[in-house]
Amino acid sequence: MAKSSLTSGVASRYAQSLFDIALDSGSLGKVEEQLGALESLIAESEDLRRLIGSPVFSTGEQLRAITAIADKAGLDGVFGNFLKVVASNRRLFALPGMIKAFRAIVDDHKGIVTAQVTSAFKLTAAQEKDLKATLKDVAGKDVEIDLTVDPSLLGGLIVKIGSRQIDTSLRTKLSSMKLALKEVG
């Protein structure tokens, strides 16, 4: 089995367990908040990324470090216990995948789908609102937009929702036109 599929399987199982416990205990909102705080810490700290990704650290070292980080950052309750279980089971390497999987489970529970949108420029609030409304009609669910700006598109958008992709970028249209002209000439 490939490492990435092993990691995603581990991440999915742990994320589902965290979701089930958070939902049962009525602490889903608090867990989401603390998960965001941990994600910010991971993004900001090279040392934390090294702790999570390196197999060099022993189980005891990982557990002591993650406990200290959780205590200092106020990651307690269900989420704090979850982090300690993850560290004790030497699964910190899958933590980024667990965060992503947990968010997907929560969005599904709330009836929200995330659209990956790439635009040539930053959308205004009105454009984003219109796009969300249009995508809600297409997806049949509320849509959150994860926007990336890529000036090389020249204009238009690339929208990915699940396995569907809609590419209205000027770059793609020009490439198609160029290809069609080669076939004609």
Residue 65, classified by CB atoms within 10 Å of its CB into exposed (0-12), middle (13-18) or buried (19+), is middle
pTM above 0.85, yes or no: no
The SS3 of residue 93 is: helix
pLDDT tens digits along 132-176? 999 998 888 889 898 999 999 888 899 999 888 989 888 888 888
The values of phi and psi at residue 75, to 5°, are -90, 95
Q: What pLDDT is recorded for position 30?
A: 96
The whole-number pLDDT of residue 1 equals 44
Rounded CA-CA distance 34/31 in Å is: 5
Residue 178, pLDDT score: 87
Please give the Cα distance from 42 to 82 (Å, whole number): 16
Torsion of CA 57, 41, 49, 25, to 10 degrees: 60
Q: What is the pLDDT of residues 68-91, one digit of tens each?
A: 999 999 999 999 999 999 999 999
What is the side-by-side strand order in the sheet with 164-167? 142-149, 112-119, 157-161, 164-167
Total residues belonging to the chain:
185
